[in-house]
Chain A
Amino acid sequence: MRPDLHKALSELTKSDDFLQTSLTIKGRQLHFTYYTTLISHEQFHHDLLSIFQLANGELRDLQDLTALIPIESVQASSSLEDISRRLAQGAIFIQLAPRLDEGLIVDIADFKLGQRGYNDTENEYSVIGPKVGFVEHIDTNMTLLRRGLVTEKLIFEEHVIGSYSRTRVAIAYLDGVTNPQYIDTIRQRLADLDFDVIFDSSLLEQLVTDNSNSPFPLLLPSERLDRIMYAMLNGELALICDGSSVVITGPVNLFSFIVSPEDYYLPWILGSSFRLIRYFGVAFSLLAPSLYVAILTFHYTVIPRDLLGPIIESRTNVPFPPLLEVLFLEITIELLREAGSRLPTKVSQTLGIVGGIILGQAAVQAALTSNILLIIVSLSALASFTTPIFKMSNTIRFLRFPLILLASLWGGLGIMIGLMFILGHLLRLKSLGAPYLVPVYPFRGQDYSDSFIRSSLVLLSKRFSFKRPLSSTRYTIRKNKDIGDDYSNE
């Protein structure tokens, strides 16, 4: 006795969008089983129903049906488990009575359903350069990458993660460039994974990262197409997760988080200086508030006499110790930032004015803080926004607080102890097994051409050696003959 799949399917779920319809075409009864919310109805009518009705021959068995259907993803199946999984992914199951123990799975899922239509890079903006970003649909993202990297070496390797979401996750890499060691690492980590629903790639990042107890991001998330392409060209692999507009890449080092794609679109002198400004921004936003606390609490003698006057003047009416003063302002700024990122865009502009200008001015007039501190704290908040990757700017924003507390405890010594802890932590971190602090430690002299500065394209023809690419040359340098300086041509 063969199982009656039609009946078994009808008991599969109680959901109302689960439909089983029957049609009689040319004297044969056809059963259709599908979720109405998942399939493309247009395809259903055009490619299935009308084809069957207009067909010349008879519909004797499933082979006849398969020959008729103008869709490549047709599969005969009799396994209930397989069918229910494919149905949940947007397939339709067709049975030809009276053979109810088997049928055809036809994939007519409507992927455009529920997808946004535009893909601007809203969170990683750049003035120069393309503004194409990823969307929440993995096939679109793969298409974008495939269009950008026109080579048969671009490999997508799909996995299914999540016991409930059954999310499609693709490892993308360039064959012959990316070191297979890293691919094996990530493959192994994905295989070992057990999780229910992957909401976003940042969740996946936490699950496959080398150290989930670190404030530092160990894989680089980005929504920019050009950035991911550049990373892959340099021998990184990318992890694309269905339902997430952010693609993560690795292995990365600490310094790749300060890099902005715009550095490469500007002339190298400008690109390098703006990158240096960003490094300064990181250092400033990390250290400025804690140095203020340290100096004004313990080491006021390090301020030269001429500078001491203005500082004392601005602090004369402030009744709090520097620590409270700094914490008050820092927390205000954090509140503003947190509120600003939760509110709708139109309201948050108002918030900026209320918070930034009115609150700050009022706080100084009420003698809750000093003018100089207001400048320092707002500058350090501003500086923390220069970090191109939001996750890293969050890290820096977080690390300021332990440093401020340590500074209030032991002054400069406390700051130094905090920094040493951070340094020790950074030295221990690894991204997909590769050290996080390269090229500084372990020292890789060649890679300095694109870490603190972005040097001329002549010097960037080699891939980063610390990413251990299988082939190190990106392009060969050929000098255009008509470019020369006037002096030697005269």
Chain B
Amino acid sequence: MQHRVKDNYAISGYFVFFLIGVCQAAANVFNFQNHILEYAGQDAWQSILLMGLSLHLVLWMVYKMLGHPAQDIMDLHRTIFGKFLGNGFSLLLVGYFFIMALFYFRAYIEIVQVWVFPNLRTWAMAGLLTVMIYYVVSGGFRVVAGYSFFYIALTPMLLLLYFPIRQGDFHRLLPAFNHSLPDLLKGARCTSLIFFGLEALLVYFPFLKSPEKNAKWAHFALLFATFKYSAIIIVSLMYFSQGLLKHTLWPTLAMSKIIELSFFARFEYFYIFMWLLTIVPTVCISIWCCTRIMKRVAALNPRLSLPIILALLYVAALMFSEQTELAALERIVNTLGFYFVVGYIPLLFVIACFAARPASKAAE
């Protein structure tokens, strides 16, 4: 079994709030609305609440699985499936985190290209961002965690929702409770995209100091995301008619266009640029997870694996030229993430419950 990470590399346990929070604040804040709408209509906020609250159970499972004695998912895989098969499963996770990173990375570039600079070359921006990610991730987990801390400075932006609320119409939320449970669940399934980020906990768990004591912070992060997204979708439902909302690609940005102060207008630029504060940490966390898994499984030095992964990320980001391709990627990510978080983690939990018991008895 792996020992705990040395104290000077570890971070305070409550930082899990920012690490989970930043991932859940990433690019999908801008365009999560229209997916849910399809099934849940004006009751979409219930879908989000449903999903968000049920994920607390998953989070609880993660904390339950790890720490005694398995420190992270690689340990867990090895004890459950044996060394060979377990390592194989762990390596599959590299692919998972890579696709996650790729999605956030490319989706942000897409937003910039659509909203700000239509002629911006993907290779140029991807290149600069890749250099930045390299610089941050090569600083180690403490730097990655520090990076993710600063997204909290964006939270006051939620107050700007006041402007669309003023323009909105409360009656668009009515009739409430008009959708059946299966519809709501279908809607909830589409919202899974916005809650990704907690699965990285499986990898960086040993880097947290006294993690069990600080489990509440992970739950707070989830609760905060649930609250945030519910608020945004309620405001969007009030602001747009459902027909318009369905055909608006980035409703959150569209809403922010109406804000105008005496010295500043067009807030969507502000939103997009500031959102770099969440995108870069999110990608960094995923990329760091990739290198960490490879280090634990294949004993590959991050000095070597990080440039390779980033080169792959860069090339893969260039492959997407059409909006439709990106939408396809989003669908894949959504399905993959949904089954990983809602399917695989509980499954692993059940197996671990049965497998870990004899192991701990043997240890005694």
Contacts and interface: CB of A to CB of B under 8 A. Distances in A.
Contact of A299 (B136, B150, B266, B280): B266
Interface in A380-400: none
B120 A302 contact: no
A424 B12 contact: no
A277 B261 CA distance: 23
Contact of B12 (A420, A437, A442): A442
Interface string A421-465: 101110110000000010011110000000000000000000000
Contacts of A411: 116-117
Contact of A302 (B11, B142, B269): B269
A340 B62 CA distance: 63
B266 A416 contact: no
Contact of B276 (A299, A307, A417): A417
Contacts of B120: 410
A413 interface: yes
A304 B132 contact: no
A427 B265 contact: no
A420 B112 contact: no
Given A301-B265, A304-B264, A410-B117, A424 B147 contact: yes
Contacts of B101: none
B139 A299 contact: no
B276 A304 contact: no
User: Which residue, B128, B272, B274, has most C-beta atoms of chain A within 10 A?
Assistant: B128
B143 A413 contact: no
A423 B150 contact: yes
A412 interface: yes
Interface in A259-309: 298-299, 301-304, 306-307
B263 interface: yes
Contact of A412 (B147, B263, B273): B273
Given A301-B265, A304-B262, A420-B132, A441 B274 contact: no
A415 interface: yes
Nearest to B148: A441
Nearest to B266: A302
Contact of A304 (B116, B135, B265): B265
B280 A420 contact: yes
A423 B142 CA distance: 13
Given A420-B280, A424-B136, A428-B139, A413 B265 contact: no
B106 to A, nearest CB: 16
Contact of A424 (B143, B264, B273): B143
Given A302-B265, A427-B147, A428-B139, A413 B117 contact: yes
Interface in A171-189: none
B218 interface: no
Contact of B135 (A410, A413, A421): A421
B160 to A, nearest CB: 15
Contacts of A301: 265-266
B146 interface: yes
Interface residues of A, number: 27
A303 B280 contact: no
Contacts of A303: 263-265
A304 to B, nearest CB: 5
Nearest to B133: A424
A410 B274 CA distance: 14
Contacts of B74: none
A237 to B, nearest CB: 20
A299 B265 CA distance: 10
A304 B273 CA distance: 19
B317 interface: no
Contacts of A299: 266, 269
Interface string B103-134: 00000000010001100100001001100100
Contacts of A415: 273
Contacts of B169: none
Nearest to B136: A424
A21 B251 CA distance: 95
A428 B141 CA distance: 11
Contacts of B150: 423, 441
Contacts of B125: 410, 413
A442 B116 CA distance: 34
Contacts of B288: none
Interface in B143-171: 143, 146-147, 149-150
Contact of B143 (A302, A410, A428, A440): A428
Which interface class (under 10, 10 to 19, 20 to 34, 35 or more) fits B? 20 to 34
B277 interface: yes
A403 to B, nearest CB: 13
A442 B15 CA distance: 9
Interface string B243-267: 0000000000000000011111110
A307 B273 contact: no
Given A301-B266, A302-B264, A304-B260, A416 B143 contact: no
Contacts of B276: 413, 416-417, 420
A282 to B, nearest CB: 16
B143 A420 contact: no
Given A304-B260, A411-B116, A442-B12, A416 B273 contact: yes
Given A424-B136, A441-B146, A442-B12, A416 B260 contact: no
Contacts of A420: 132, 276-277, 280
A30 B117 CA distance: 89
A421 B132 contact: yes
A298 B112 CA distance: 13
B132 to A, nearest CB: 6
Given A304-B261, A424-B136, A437-B146, A413 B266 contact: no
Contacts of A302: 264-266, 269-270
A450 B325 CA distance: 52
Given A301-B266, A302-B266, A413 B139 contact: no
A300 to B, nearest CB: 10
Interface in B258-303: 260-266, 269-270, 272-274, 276-277, 280
A442 B147 CA distance: 11
A364 to B, nearest CB: 23
A428 B132 CA distance: 13
Contacts of A307: 262-263
A427 B272 CA distance: 23
A155 B261 CA distance: 58
Contacts of B264: 302-304
B69 to A, nearest CB: 28
A427 B11 CA distance: 14
A115 to B, nearest CB: 44
B263 A304 contact: yes
A411 B132 CA distance: 18
B350 to A, nearest CB: 37
Nearest to B280: A420
A302 B11 CA distance: 40
Nearest to A406: B128
Contacts of B136: 424, 427
Contacts of B270: 302, 412
A419 to B, nearest CB: 9
B146 A427 contact: yes
Given A424-B147, A427-B147, A442-B11, 10 more contacts: A298-B116, A412-B269, A413-B112, A413-B273, A415-B273, A417-B128, A427-B136, A428-B135, A428-B139, A437-B146
Which are the 10 A-B pairs with shortest beta-carbon distances?
A: A427-B146, A441-B146, A416-B273, A412-B273, A428-B139, A302-B266, A424-B136, A427-B143, A416-B276, A304-B265
14 contacts: A302-B265, A302-B270, A303-B264, A410-B117, A410-B125, A411-B116, A417-B132, A417-B276, A420-B277, A420-B280, A421-B135, A424-B147, A428-B135, A443-B12
